[in-house]
A and B are shown apart, each in its own frame.
Chain A
């Protein structure tokens, strides 16, 4: 049941990253994906009785924090440039 919940959270996060237009909402959906992975890691650690999953969860915490700390300034830069959060307007690299 918990693994199914983890799969559902990951899939909803992926769906949000693909279908939403707002940059901040996409970032939050990425966080949701990380949360789903964390839940699956904790479930595996619980089922096997080992600590490896918990260690990986801690490393995922660090990665998520670093990701947000880098993504937010990039979003700020983009918004100062175009004054919108809509990601489909950032198409300068579209050849």
Chain B
């Protein structure tokens, strides 16, 4: 009994993490306050990191926690605290609820059908041993170095755009102050 459990522990943990991630994602739709939504998203990301770790890609799991939870979501939580605009008693959802629900259901149906039709070996998770960081690093910096450099261009563009937004903000402030 225990041996069998240990043998299938990976699959069991994968299932549990997947269900937890799904629950966190569903809570994001339902919860009202942005801070609680942020907490639900953080838990979803941590569970996804656990899934990556179980799949054997440990470096992606580490970067998932470091970048998403450590940088992006901390930034988001800071902004939520900074704005401090509490959502009032107004409606939680926009007028697009029913079209959105129908569209999401159609998307899920189409994608699930195409997955079942296209990949006969779906469900072979946690089977491979995964590839190490060595083959990834060699492939990353030898075959895909151009893409790597292009991301640096993208980051520079993002920095310049953020500075431009701040300047627009400052100019609007001055205009408001002078009349």
Contact = CB atoms under 8 A, between A and B. Distances in A.
Contact of B79 (A7, A20, A72): A72
Interface of B: 14-15, 18, 21-22, 25-26, 28-29, 34, 37-38, 41, 44-45, 48, 51-52, 55-57, 59-60, 63-64, 67-68, 71-73, 75-76, 79-80, 82-83, 85, 87, 90-97, 99-101, 103-104, 107-108, 111-112, 115, 119, 121-125, 128, 130-131, 135-136, 139-140, 144, 147, 151, 154-155, 157-159, 161-162, 165-166, 168-169, 172
A44 B93 CA distance: 35
Interface residues of A, number: 67
Q: Do most interface residues of chain A lie in helix, strand or loop, or is the interface mixed?
A: helix
A27 B34 CA distance: 11
Contact of A35 (B68, B91, B125, B172): B68
Interface string A61-95: 11111101110111111011101111110000000
Interface of A: 1-5, 7-16, 18-22, 24-25, 27-29, 31-32, 35, 38-39, 42-43, 45-47, 49, 51-52, 54-55, 57-59, 61-66, 68-70, 72-77, 79-81, 83-88
